[in-house]
Structure 1
Amino acid sequence: MKKKLLAMMLGAGLVLGACGGGNDNAGDTNNDANTGTSGGGETASADPEALYKNSCIGCHGGNLEGASGPALNDVGSRYSAEEINTIIVDGKGGMPPGLLKGEEAQVVAEWLAEKK
């Protein structure tokens, strides 16, 4: 019984930790997101895939297949870019609000809206 409880607590901690993050590396000047580059010479705010990897991959999976959050590989067939942006900014269900804001949220929303 204790092992099951410990496993549940550990699993819950992993899920909550993966979905909750803002930018925890604010003092890390070597982090590409903090220097404004994504490694390819473009800014991270213009690269929706880099933004997704930094903020969304923990819950929605590396291939948009879903994990603790829903799959996003066809999200554009269900929601418009504006609706996706609202979900990113305001949160929905178990998704916390504000993981991305402003232009970053808009860039990721437009990218996800193309997934049909």
Structure 2
Amino acid sequence: MSINAVQHTHVLVVILFLILFIIKAFLLFTNKHHTLEKIKKRTKVLDMVFGTLILLTGGYLVLQYTGMPTWLIVKILLVLAAIPLAIIGIKKLNKPLTALSLVIFMYVYGMAENRSLSMTKDQPEANTGTTVKAPDEAVIMQPADGTLVEQDTATGPNIEGELIDNALTNAKEIYNRQCASCHGDNGKKGLGKATDLSVSRLSAEAKKTIILNGKGLMPGFRGQISEQEAEELAAYLETLRN
């Protein structure tokens, strides 16, 4: 089974597991125990299958990472705790345990959506005063006094030579933090059919658009990085091309 198929399976199983759990939790909190017992008997095997598949597919995807951010490690630990809590809470008709597992699942969802323990998107870093375009385009540099200076790069100089040191360092840090887990350090990893950046011929503007808005399984990073950082990151990706 391909990584892409595993990802789709994982998401589908998680959704089905949560739907069943929420239905059961609602019946428990509304004291409809008779109906709950009927559903529990009919879905006992499904609960075991879904729980096992979540752990197996999730574990497989985690092993594909070259490095895991803190929020992802916390997410894994919380999911490992929430699944048995949910099963036990419903089985024992224990409302506190069931409520706790619901809270954990909601927190995990918010954390995963924002890729942050605080469930808030990272604020864009301060503007460095430099905007960089990819090769074969004009590079617009903005000094501290606000004057715009256009430098012709039609001859296609090395992109790293165009990035000032702090912009290059920032772009690399963003790539390592947000992109390397799927694309790899050299852009060739292809986790979940991620584009091979070493052979991509997309324009810098097209790359910037995908970085900000996402595409397919890749999430967008608008709100997590600034427009300028997305532009610098798109330019940095040129250094990964063969």
TM-score where L is the length of structure 2: 0.33
Note if 1:101 corresponds to 2:226: yes
User: How far 1:94 sits from its partner (Å)?
Assistant: 0.5
Note if 1:55 corresponds to 2:190: no
Structure with greater helix percent: 2
Structure 1, 86-95 or 98-107: larger mean CA deviation: 98-107
CA contact (8 A) 1:64 1:71 kept: yes
- Equivalent residue, structure 2, for 1:112: 237
- Equivalent residue, structure 2, for 1:67: 191
Q: Name which of 36, 49, 58 aligns with 1:9.
A: 58
CA contact (8 A) 1:72 1:112 kept: yes
Change (3 A) 1:7 1:59: same
**Could you report, residue by residue, the CA deviation over 1:57-116 in whole angstroms, capped at 9, with x for unpaired residues?**
1111121112232221122x2x10000000000100111111533111100101224525
Counterpart Cα distance in 2 of 1:91 and 1:73 = 19
CA contact (8 A) 1:53 1:62 kept: yes
Q: How high is the sequence identity, in percent, across the aligned residues?
A: 27
TM-score where L is the length of structure 1: 0.62
Instruction: Name the Cα RMSD after superposition.
Output: 3.4
2:177 counterpart SS class: helix
Larger radius of gyration, structure 1 or 2? 2
Counterpart Cα distance in 2 of 1:108 and 1:21 = 21
**Could you report, residue by residue, the CA deviation over 1:14-55 in whole angstroms, capped at 9, with x for unpaired residues?**
37x59x6867488xxxxxxx8xxxxxxx54x54222221111
Counterpart Cα distance in 1 of 2:199 and 2:226 = 22
Change (3 A) 1:23 1:93: closer
- Equivalent residue, structure 1, for 2:84: none
Counterpart Cα distance in 1 of 2:199 and 2:60 = 27
Structure 1, 103-112 or 46-55: larger mean CA deviation: 46-55
Change (3 A) 1:46 1:111: closer
Aligned residues: 96
Counterpart Cα distance in 2 of 1:72 and 1:7 = 29
